[in-house]
Structure 1
Amino acid sequence: MKIFSQPLGVAATNPFLFVDEETETAVLFDAPEQAFDLVEAAKQQVPFELEGLYLTHGHYDHIMDGWKFAEAGIPVWGHADDKALFQEPAVQSSFLIGGLDLRAVKIDHWIQPGDPLEILGRPVEVRHVPGHCPGNVLFYFPGEGLAIVGDAIFFFFFGRTDLPGGSMEVLENSIRSQIYTLPDDTQLLTGHGPATTVGREKASNPFVRVVG
């Protein structure tokens, strides 16, 4: 499986385009500004059909291009606890950077953590990791040893909790119960900045560390 990713948009958000070169199918995780162009550019390197867009959460910097995929007929997944963020752009007006044209994103499938999910023919576990916002989820690929975590945790840091719906207490519990319970060698593909691993963060994250 080939992964395309680069920081995009005003917040340097990481989308992740997973391409199965054998089946020539692909899925995208998160859709910041210019993500639609990223997908089109990737098609010039590897032929594929995009099968779905999976949104880790509803903040503007992760969904700016979401409407483009929805209008193109690509099925979109998201968690219902962020329904207002996905479908009511005005809700984000208090923290939206001026001049950005945020449009509602139609969600076709509401994700239920714990429900069996298969992406590109691979089993995927969805875990609810609120705290940064109510509907942040992670997508764990056990066969590949990686998880797309949105803004729940970063390299030696964590997602901000000062926006509406955020809570440091809730986020810390999410990290400890939903992220730190993954295998230590699991690669964490974060919404901003470099990737990290569960073991590295458990040992060294200065904010949410496991001692002993």
Structure 2
Amino acid sequence: MSLNVRIFPAGPIQTNAFLVSDPERGEAVLIDAPHDVCEMVDTALAEDGCELKALLLTHGHYDHIGDAAKISARGVPLFGHLDDKVLFESPEAMRAFVYPPDLELTGFEIDHWVEQDDSIQLLGMDCEVRHVPGHCPGNVLFYFAQAKAAFVGDALFAGGIGRTDLAGGSFSLLEKSIREQIYTLPKDTVVLPGHGPNTSVGDEILHNPFVSGE
């Protein structure tokens, strides 16, 4: 398997975007689209000789969707969860939490709504969708079993968890999501979060101080 995974921290709070490409197939998918990521993605696509086939959005918070409208305008299909429909289509709803306060926000429409246990065919592989609310109502993870990789949005970080004090947040719900949807993945699965470094399911089960695996 010739997958390349590139991490692009972008936008005012350095949100991770992930470009997963298969040069042999000439295809790539992007997970999350923070502000100002398009130029970096375009450069990487040219280097790999790949065409962007999909944008997968882990959730609707402003820092993860800043360039989504630009990518949608290119005809790239967007995937997201229905519980974050308002945030995708009317991101001004988040204005009180936006940094910097004058950051430009542009709404867009989702082409394909995803649900728990959906399976999407991408890059010649099955991509499993798992719903992991608690940080945000529509937070989902995208799990590529063949690549042993799970893109989890802001549900879980290396040694941390997503904040639960924003609208629609709930610690008890996030804890349940992590235990049932992330910690049940194989322990050698690489966890690629929306902020900060990668980790693994096994490491977080053993060492995460907020949600233990026991």
Q: TM-score scaled to structure 2, two decimals?
A: 0.96
Whether contact under 8 Å (1:63, 1:105) holds in the other structure is no
Whichever residue aligns with residue 157 of structure 1, its letter is G
For residues 38 and 84 of structure 2, what CA distance do their matches in structure 1 show?
22
The answer for unaligned runs of 5 or more in structure 2 is: none
For residues 173 and 111 of structure 2, what CA distance do their matches in structure 1 show?
27
Query: Which of 193, 203, 206 lines up with 1:203 in the alignment?
Result: 206
For residues 77-96 of structure 1, the C-alpha deviation after alignment (integer angstroms, 9 at most, x for no partner) is: 10000001100122111211
1:123 aligns with 2:126: yes
Corresponding position of 2:93 = 91
Query: Which of 158, 163, 167 lines up with 1:160 in the alignment?
Result: 163
For residues 90 and 8 of structure 1, what CA distance do their matches in structure 2 show?
20
Matches within 5 A, 1:1-212: 1-97=3-99, 98-211=101-214
Alignment length (residue pairs): 211
Q: TM-score scaled to structure 1, two decimals?
A: 0.97
For residues 108-148 of structure 1, the C-alpha deviation after alignment (integer angstroms, 9 at most, x for no partner) is: 11112212211111011100000000000001111111100
* Superposed CA RMSD: 0.9
- Structure 1 position 46, deviation (Å): 1.3
For residues 11 and 109 of structure 1, what CA distance do their matches in structure 2 show?
27
Whichever residue aligns with residue 81 of structure 2, its letter is H
Whether contact under 8 Å (1:79, 1:137) holds in the other structure is yes
